[in-house]
Amino acid sequence: MAFRQENAGDMVCTSMRHSRKEKLFSPGGIVNTPMRAALFLAVTATSWALASAAQEGFSRPFRPTVPEGLDTYMPVPEENELTPEKVALGRRLFFDPILSRDATLACATCHDPLRAFTDGREVARGIGGRRGKRNVPTLVNRAYGQSHFFDGRAATLERQALEPITNRDEFDTTAEEVVARLAAHPEYSAMFRAAFARGPCAEDLARAVASYTRTILSGGSPFDRYTSGEAQALNEQEREGLQVFRGKGNCTACHIGPAFSDERFHNTGVSWSNGRFTDAGRAAVSGAPKDRGAFKTPTLREVARTAPYMHQGSLATLEDVIEFYNRGAKPNPYLDPELQPLNLTTEEKKALAAFLRALSGRVTEGLEPGNLKP
């Protein structure tokens, strides 16, 4: 299978014949610890079971269990309803380096489940160690996202799923090449037919990875238990930090709702250096001068596990982030007007950091989610 484009960015499956043998890439390029190995074995076993069941006509809608603290309504596009077959296929693809040019990187290389689906680096690293331009954002709760990437250039998870494949600094290949590899792989051919009733194509690859991504959820944190009535779920310092968060710290100007993000774009000055922006941010997408240096508000769920911070990983710790905002961020011509010096005391800053750490809960993913917290 291959794809053709009818409108910009719209992939439609079409048939093609292959005139050469494609190399079969075995999964496992990122399996380098017992836990990651166990995760990948679970992917394979589930995938085969679902493919076999689908051949017998088995298919049903699927909704992941939504953890405490999140909206029970999960938006899913009508054109890509969740099914077990799609989730299993997407999970298999997520962990498989077959998607990268030299089969050395998988989605999970940067989005490590044991790091709340980040990688702990300042910016992403791609093929051959190529240094990317931005920090790897967490994937937790992206099912609720209104746009994706720090600049919001992808309106859907389906569109987001394909970008790393063709990005020179990431997987550095083409959709055609990846589809050819998958079509030549007997397991993947069976799994695509189980999920979509046809062989591999770029559109369905994106749908599968997006389906799996929608199952990556974080909730059930001490904060969630506290707001559900468990008075002792937060200790005294964390409760003080919650008051700072809602009050003097003005954090809720941007970090609101179950995901602790307004899904909007704000200029904090973090990319302002020597009288210019080192990264245009949202303006590169919108073309609007007011969006220069503006980036999407990240979620604060699992924030204690997703260091370093900001779009280019320039702040190493939560304490660094708090101090940055305590100073009023970084002045520049387009600084968000909500950002002003906070004048927090030492104890208030410690309390705020303690509260932010209380936003870490249970990260789950896949069809039979387990606790991924190390």
Examine the residue annotation and report whether 170 is marked as an active-site residue of this protein: yes
Spatial separation of the C-alpha atoms in residues 316 and 109, rounded to whole Å: 20
User: Which residues, listed in sequence order, are joined to residue 217 by a DSSP beta bridge?
Assistant: 364
Structure-token pair, residue 56: 């017998």
Token pair 């961020």 is at which residue?
329
Structure-token pair, residue 204: 């369905």
Number of Cβ within 10 Å of residue 159's Cβ equals: 18
> Pairing between strand 11-14 and 272-273?
unpaired
69 HSE (CA, 13 A, CB side):
27
Spatial separation of the C-alpha atoms in residues 178 and 173, rounded to whole Å: 7
Spatial separation of the C-alpha atoms in residues 92 and 208, rounded to whole Å: 9
Are 271 and 277 within 8 A, CB to CB? yes
Q: Of the residues 85, 122, 158, 170, which is catalytic?
A: 170
Q: How many helices (H) and strands (E) does the chain have?
A: 12, 8
Spatial separation of the C-alpha atoms in residues 213 and 207, rounded to whole Å: 10
Structure-token pair, residue 65: 């269990």
Structure-token pair, residue 60: 């049903």
User: Which residues, listed in sequence order, are joined to residue 41 by a DSSP beta bridge?
Assistant: none
Q: Where are the alpha helices (DSSP H) in 131-201?
A: 157-166, 175-183, 186-196
Centroid of chain to Cα 356: 19
Backbone φ/ψ region at 71: left (φ over 0), alpha (ψ -120 to 50), beta: beta
Structure-token pair, residue 317: 């710790």
Backbone φ/ψ region at 220: left (φ over 0), alpha (ψ -120 to 50), beta: left
Active site amino acids? 170
